[in-house]
Amino acid sequence: MSFTVAAAQYPIDRLDSWDAYAAKLTRWVEDAAQAGASLAVFPEYGAMELASLDPATMGDLAGSIETVSALLPRVDALHAELAARTGLHILAASAPRKDADGRFRNAARLFAPNGKVGVQDKLVMTRFERELWHIAAGSALRLFDTALGKIAVSICYDSEFPLLARACVEAGADLLLVPSCTDSLHGYWRVRLGAQARALEGQCYAVHSPTVGEAEWSPAVDVNRGAAAVYGPPDRGMPEDGVLAMGVEGAAQWVFAEVDTALVAELRADGGVLNTRHWAEQPGAVQLPAVEVVDLR
């Protein structure tokens, strides 16, 4: 199947009302749909701009996390409505979600136009999340079976750990979505190189969506660096460097690329190299984590 994917370079804005957020998100989704996209990917922690709706807590890290988590049901209802109305599959910007154990987890949610929703929590936490945010790790690794193909999500730092993506590839993943939030070009390049490496070794597409811009009012997402891109394995039918599309670093924009899941199957069967097939030949190849397949068709 061939379709267009849109990767957001999403700016963190100071919002003066819920209506301002709803208008912004609607505009972004409608722009992607009007450009012909079937899948729109938003970044990690893009939802933290919602902390600006509570001036009393937006400058406090713990308070801003609480504010955004409390708004998550309303945020998800808006995404579900937009997915149904535009016909897009939408990976919403990840957000802290407060669970029954009282801990917060970093959750990305994939909305299908048919009303189904899949959730992937971040599994490996960065130092900032561990030491300052006190965000807990998720435990379930999921693969989403959609009308567009089989889609996995590696949130930012997770993309730098190959066994997570590899488990999803063995379960049949065609696309790996990599939402990110990095405050330096060092961080951006770590995620970018991770995404490109996962596309190479999994012979699949990787769609990278970062936050961009500055938000001095926020202790969580005050500086954001990165460029959205869509990567594939550098092999027959793909660009020589594997970069299908890339944005201008720091700009607020959509980045579009055409992807073809049939080409993924072709390269895995008869590519110039067969990384996917030859994985097990590595000395020390280890048992992979379990993958839960979620039906979003």
Residue 12 reports pLDDT greater than 90: yes
Pair 183, 43: CB distance under 8 Å: no
What number of other Cβ atoms are within 10 A of residue 138's Cβ? 22
d(C-alpha 210, C-alpha 164), whole Å: 20
What number of other Cβ atoms are within 10 A of residue 219's Cβ? 19
What average pLDDT does the segment 36-56 reach? 98
Per-residue model confidence as pLDDT tens digits over 149-188? 999 999 999 999 999 999 999 999 999 999 999 999 999 9
**What was the pLDDT predicted at 268?**
98
Per-residue model confidence as pLDDT tens digits over 192-233? 999 999 999 999 999 999 999 999 999 999 999 999 999 999
**What was the pLDDT predicted at 194?**
98
Structural tokens at position 121:
């929590």
**What was the pLDDT predicted at 284?**
84
- CATH number assigned to the domain covering 2-295: 3.60.110.10
What average pLDDT does the segment 266-292 reach? 94
d(C-alpha 248, C-alpha 226), whole Å: 9
For the chain, the domains span 2-295
- pLDDT bin (cut points 50, 70, 90) of residue 285 is confident
Per-residue model confidence as pLDDT tens digits over 91-142? 999 999 999 999 999 999 999 999 999 999 999 999 999 999 999 999 999 9
Closest by CA position to 160, among listed 212, 196, 119, 109: 196
- pLDDT bin (cut points 50, 70, 90) of residue 286 is confident
Residue 16 reports pLDDT greater than 90: yes
Cα–Cα separations (whole angstroms), residue 135 to 97, 128, 158, 168, 222: 9, 9, 14, 24, 18
